Chain A
Amino acid sequence: MRGAKSAKWVAGAIVVALAATACGGGGSEGKGGGARQVVMELGEPQNGLIPSNTYESEGSEVMNALFTGLVKYDEKNEAQLDLASSIETKDSKVWTIKLKDGYTFHNGEPVTAQSFADAWNYGANQANTQETNPLYNKIDGYADLNPGEGKKPATDKMKGLKVVDEKTLEVTLTAPFSAFKTMLGFNAFFPLPKAFFKDPKGFETAPIGNGMLKMDGKFVRNQQIKTVKYDKHPEAKQLKIAGVTFKIYSSQDTAYRDLLGGRVDIMDTIPTSAMTTASKDLGDRYIQGTDSGVGYIGFPLKYNKAYAKPEIRKAISQAIDRKAITEKIFVNTRTPADDFINPLVPGYRKGACGPACDYDPAAAKKAFDAAGGLPGNKMELGYNADGGHKEWITAVAGQLEKNLGVTVTVKPFEQFQAILNDLGDKKYSGAFRLAWSMDYPHAENYLRPIFSEDAIEHGSNYSGYVNPQVEKLLDQGDTATTEDAAVKAYQQADDILLKEMPYVPVYFYKLNAGLSKNLKPGVRIDNMTQIDWTTVNPA
């Protein structure tokens, strides 16, 4: 029995250990009276909560609640002054930014020009490996902070940032860039308090912002980020809620069920499974709007001569029935694309693409054959299998087979980066799907990062398309001193691209959001899919 006894002991100890870990649950918390604490569904932010290290939608949502930037985007999706009292330039190269009074960080520290300069210098420094690092590359001195791998930057300040006085920041760019003011609303350009630089690691879970909402407790990974109203914010009176709790969900279906049950108040995406019932489920609390995304099909122009002729690419475009795809496959959660520039930014022109984006199988076939077709009459169409693209890519393949008479092979890649790697290694020579959503609402952001020569190395020009004419017009847009002149130049570049079709625009994404019974309808969601918290009203 000796053996049995000690075995009992071991078993007992393990049971106790198991029980001990099971008892670690935290205490409960009472619900405050008065204004409502609104709950919003969120996916887990990828990085810690630092503005310059946030380059994805979930983290951005939180950043925009916690911080107030220099500009914000209005109903017409134009940049309006927010924390800045004026942003002026004569030549689109030297910009003078003046700040409003009365703004403080949540720890009481006043927001000054230095707060912005410090934050941008930190974000642009390669030593800090911030995700939004490339967004600062327009500022003079960016190159000094990014000497390259294995080299240490000689300085930690960009020479283009000059703090004139407490409320004035002078920014010099390397070259004129007319869209700079619009860029400033993106979270990479938010200010940071001095406390950040003392403990960047601690900041990741307990950020100190300057916005209408401040952190209440710490960011609990995979669970929640709780914020409450910051009363000292000059515009905090506009808030009719006590705060926002970002509840983190791994499954949108579960979140949607909680939305119906009133445990979640706002979702800024409706899961595909609920798409057909959402308008019935939610009534006037179902929000549909534009979204900044564009879906394309691209071609490896850099090394596959088969797609070299624009006529071939145009014929492929014409052979795609965009309406059928957006209506049947995406259940109207997308709209057919007719421009490279998204409808929500100034500069979009309805039907800019012209007949090239209209479904015309007969014309497509004729043009395709006249241009000599594809070698071997074969085409490959690659997609990443992790993002729900199989259905529409298969549909496009079917349409191309039927309308052009080519044999289309659909090729799944496990992740989008696998396509990029194979394109980089010249191992893959087929067409491929891709998409873009903007960093800041400007026509420029739909052209330069995708179609310019520089974007082959530093952006999303995966096809390797280069056209000196486009480069010239993009530069012309950048250097323009008025917004109108800039947009006009970008549109001219857009016209060339629509004729050449290095990518085929297929659809624009749509915003599908929902509110619970606890809120009144009429919540505004801006073009960056950020909730305007001043429009949230408890029912």
Chain B
Amino acid sequence: MGRYVIRRLLQAIPVLLGATILLYCLVFLLPGDPIQALAGEKKADPNIAAILREQYHLNDPLYQRYWYYLSGVLTGDFGTDFTGREVSEIMSETFPVTLRLAGIAFLVEAVVGVVAGVFAALGRGKFLDNLVLLSTLLLVSIPVFVLGNVLQLVLGVQWALVPISYDAEDITTLILPGVVLGSVSLAYIARLTRTSMIETMRSDYVRTATAKGLSRPRVIVRHGLRNALIPIVTYLGVDLGALMGGAIITERIFNIPGIGGTLYQAVYLRQGTTVVSIVTVLVLVYIAANLLVDLLYAVLDPRIRYA
């Protein structure tokens, strides 16, 4: 298995390299001048702009700039944005916040989604099943910004039950945004669990387990759910990356200073190094999550081996 993990990690290198090259080209080929963007609608002073362009190698060809960037990253230096801020500092401030938000969303969708799916599957065709099917349909069809704004207005403004915006000193302010962020995936997971669970509960080994006289909860959890979890874990793995990258709308609504807003701002101001660095880390998260998922298969189904 060690060899398998190493091979997977080695595979990540060309992926990362390809992603950064592509991103670098895309960001820096965008029309617009990052130095002028800093000055807003006022014209940047030509002298100062020229000095800044020199300072940030903006006059050099793209491949050369990419090389400067890459060699910096290899030594652990992500460079600075065009206002002189260290990109690593920007990332160390924003990533933990988004990670917390995504973590809460992940927890909500995994726990609530799986539990709802299991109950729906067990009581197939009954009231609970219909309730789960209907409510998940509703969740899937409401866009995140509508759900976020409505919940914020109703729970936060009208009923004043929860704070509207993020407060660094109070981590509970992340719960509502976490629920909003996880809501769509929650619906998918509930439905996925339901289908998968119905499938496994019909299989021979479940019947055998029941015939052996095992208790009902043990049959459901150890024999049914465990096998039903494989497609769900796959989905959750991919979704962790998507949650971090997709937090942009939720972060804006609830004023969470995470990577979503930073990325938006960086694209807007043509802060190329910031964009490339953040997205590269996101790619890393995707790769790690996928590796984790593949390794988890073996936990769920011992027949799966890695070579």
Q: Are A129 and B93 within 8 A (Cβ)?
A: no
Q: Are B36 and A6 within 8 A (Cβ)?
A: no
Assuming the A-B contacts A10-B292, A251-B252, A417-B36, are A3 and B50 also in contact, with contact meaning beta carbons closer than 8 angstroms in the complex? Answer: no
Cβ 8 A contact of A223, one of B152, B168, B265: B168
- Which residues B143-199 have CB closer than 8 A to chain A? 149, 152-153, 156-157, 160, 163-165, 168-171
The 7 A-B residue pairs with the shortest CB-CB distance in the complex, in nearest-first order? A222-B257, A149-B50, A7-B295, A417-B36, A134-B45, A7-B298, A4-B298
The answer for the CA separation of A503 and B117 in the assembled complex, in Å, is 64
List of B residues within 8 angstroms of A10 by Cβ: 5, 292, 295
List of B residues within 8 angstroms of A261 by Cβ: 156-157, 160, 164
Segment of A25-33, A313-321, A523-531 in the binding face: A25-33
9 CB < 8 A contacts A-B: A4-B302, A25-B169, A126-B51, A130-B48, A131-B48, A134-B48, A254-B165, A254-B252, A458-B45
Cβ 8 A contact of A131, one of B39, B47, B103: B39
Assuming the A-B contacts A7-B295, A420-B36, are A222 and B94 also in contact, with contact meaning beta carbons closer than 8 angstroms in the complex? Answer: yes
Does any Cβ of B come within 8 Å of A179's Cβ?
no
Cβ 8 A contact of B156, one of A4, A146, A257: A257
List of A residues within 8 angstroms of B292 by Cβ: 10-11, 14
Most chain A beta-carbon contacts within 10 A, residue among B99, B165, B265, B304: B165
Taking the closest CB of chain A, its distance from the CB of B264, in whole angstroms, is 8
Does any Cβ of A come within 8 Å of B296's Cβ?
yes
Binary contact readout A21-65 vs B (1 if CB under 8 angstroms, 0 otherwise): 110111111000000000000001011100000011000000000
Does any Cβ of A come within 8 Å of B68's Cβ?
no
- Which residues B52-106 have CB closer than 8 A to chain A? 52, 54-55, 83-85, 90, 93-94, 96, 99-100, 103
Q: Are A460 and B51 within 8 A (Cβ)?
A: no
Q: Are B54 and A11 within 8 A (Cβ)?
A: no
The answer for the CA separation of A374 and B163 in the assembled complex, in Å, is 57
Q: Are B298 and A3 within 8 A (Cβ)?
A: yes
Q: Are B295 and A421 within 8 A (Cβ)?
A: no
Taking the closest CB of chain A, its distance from the CB of B8, in whole angstroms, is 11
List of B residues within 8 angstroms of A220 by Cβ: 168
Cβ 8 A contact of B152, one of A222, A254, A460: A254
Not counting A1-B302, A224-B168, a sample of 16 additional A-B residue pairs whose C-beta atoms are within 8 angstroms of each other reads A4-B299, A6-B2, A7-B299, A10-B5, A22-B100, A25-B171, A133-B48, A222-B94, A250-B265, A254-B254, A415-B37, A417-B32, A421-B31, A421-B33, A458-B46, A460-B42
List of B residues within 8 angstroms of A416 by Cβ: 40-41
Does any Cβ of A come within 8 Å of B246's Cβ?
no
List of B residues within 8 angstroms of A22 by Cβ: 99-100, 103
- Which residues A227-266 have CB closer than 8 A to chain B? 248-251, 253-255, 257-258, 260-261, 263
Assuming the A-B contacts A149-B47, A150-B54, are A25 and B93 also in contact, with contact meaning beta carbons closer than 8 angstroms in the complex? Answer: no
List of B residues within 8 angstroms of A421 by Cβ: 31-33, 36
Q: Are B298 and A129 within 8 A (Cβ)?
A: no
Does any Cβ of B come within 8 Å of A418's Cβ?
yes
The answer for the CA separation of A255 and B166 in the assembled complex, in Å, is 11
Q: Are A250 and B261 within 8 A (Cβ)?
A: yes
The answer for the CA separation of A150 and B262 in the assembled complex, in Å, is 33
Cβ 8 A contact of A257, one of B52, B157, B302: B157
Does any Cβ of B come within 8 Å of A380's Cβ?
no
Q: Are B164 and A29 within 8 A (Cβ)?
A: no
Q: How many A-B residue pairs have CB under 8 A?
A: 166
Q: Are B1 and A3 within 8 A (Cβ)?
A: yes
Q: Are A414 and B288 within 8 A (Cβ)?
A: no
Nearest B residue to A250 by beta-carbon distance?
B261
Does any Cβ of B come within 8 Å of A435's Cβ?
yes
List of A residues within 8 angstroms of B51 by Cβ: 126-127, 129, 149
The answer for the CA separation of A134 and B46 in the assembled complex, in Å, is 10
Nearest B residue to A147 by beta-carbon distance?
B47
- Which residues A441-482 have CB closer than 8 A to chain B? 457-460, 462
Cβ 8 A contact of A25, one of B48, B94, B168, B295: B168
List of B residues within 8 angstroms of A349 by Cβ: none
The answer for the CA separation of A248 and B165 in the assembled complex, in Å, is 11
Most chain A beta-carbon contacts within 10 A, residue among B94, B100, B254: B100
Nearest B residue to A127 by beta-carbon distance?
B51
List of B residues within 8 angstroms of A134 by Cβ: 45, 48
Binary contact readout A118-154 vs B (1 if CB under 8 angstroms, 0 otherwise): 0000000011011101100000000000101110000
Nearest A residue to B252 by beta-carbon distance?
A251
Nearest A residue to B301 by beta-carbon distance?
A4
B contact set with A: CB distance below 8 Å: 1-2, 5, 31-33, 36-43, 45-48, 50-52, 54-55, 83-85, 90, 93-94, 96, 99-100, 103, 149, 152-153, 156-157, 160, 163-165, 168-171, 251-255, 257, 261-262, 265, 268, 288, 292, 295-299, 302, 304-306
A contact set with B: CB distance below 8 Å: 1-4, 6-8, 10-11, 14, 18, 21-22, 24-29, 44, 46-48, 55-56, 126-127, 129-131, 133-134, 146, 148-150, 220-224, 248-251, 253-255, 257-258, 260-261, 263, 386, 414-418, 420-421, 434-435, 457-460, 462
Q: Are B31 and A7 within 8 A (Cβ)?
A: no
Taking the closest CB of chain B, its distance from the CB of A250, in whole angstroms, is 5
List of B residues within 8 angstroms of A458 by Cβ: 43, 45-46
The answer for the CA separation of A248 and B45 in the assembled complex, in Å, is 28
The answer for the CA separation of A414 and B254 in the assembled complex, in Å, is 27
Q: Are A7 and B296 within 8 A (Cβ)?
A: yes
The answer for the CA separation of A48 and B84 in the assembled complex, in Å, is 9
Q: Are B41 and A44 within 8 A (Cβ)?
A: no
Nearest A residue to B168 by beta-carbon distance?
A223
The answer for the CA separation of A340 and B137 in the assembled complex, in Å, is 56
List of A residues within 8 angstroms of B305 by Cβ: 3
Q: Are A26 and B252 within 8 A (Cβ)?
A: no
Taking the closest CB of chain A, its distance from the CB of B275, in whole angstroms, is 15
Q: Are B1 and A6 within 8 A (Cβ)?
A: yes
Assuming the A-B contacts A25-B169, A254-B253, are A420 and B43 also in contact, with contact meaning beta carbons closer than 8 angstroms in the complex? Answer: yes
Nearest A residue to B264 by beta-carbon distance?
A250
Taking the closest CB of chain B, its distance from the CB of A143, in whole angstroms, is 10
Nearest A residue to B261 by beta-carbon distance?
A250
Taking the closest CB of chain B, its distance from the CB of A156, in whole angstroms, is 15
List of A residues within 8 angstroms of B93 by Cβ: 221-222
List of A residues within 8 angstroms of B94 by Cβ: 222
List of B residues within 8 angstroms of A3 by Cβ: 1, 298, 302, 304-306
List of A residues within 8 angstroms of B268 by Cβ: 386, 415
The answer for the CA separation of A190 and B201 in the assembled complex, in Å, is 74
Assuming the A-B contacts A22-B100, A458-B45, are A44 and B298 also in contact, with contact meaning beta carbons closer than 8 angstroms in the complex? Answer: no
The answer for the CA separation of A315 and B31 in the assembled complex, in Å, is 34
The answer for the CA separation of A22 and B171 in the assembled complex, in Å, is 9
Q: Are A260 and B43 within 8 A (Cβ)?
A: no
Q: Are B295 and A222 within 8 A (Cβ)?
A: no
Q: Are A250 and B252 within 8 A (Cβ)?
A: yes
List of B residues within 8 angstroms of A221 by Cβ: 90, 93, 257
Nearest A residue to B160 by beta-carbon distance?
A261
Nearest A residue to B52 by beta-carbon distance?
A129
Q: Are B152 and A129 within 8 A (Cβ)?
A: no
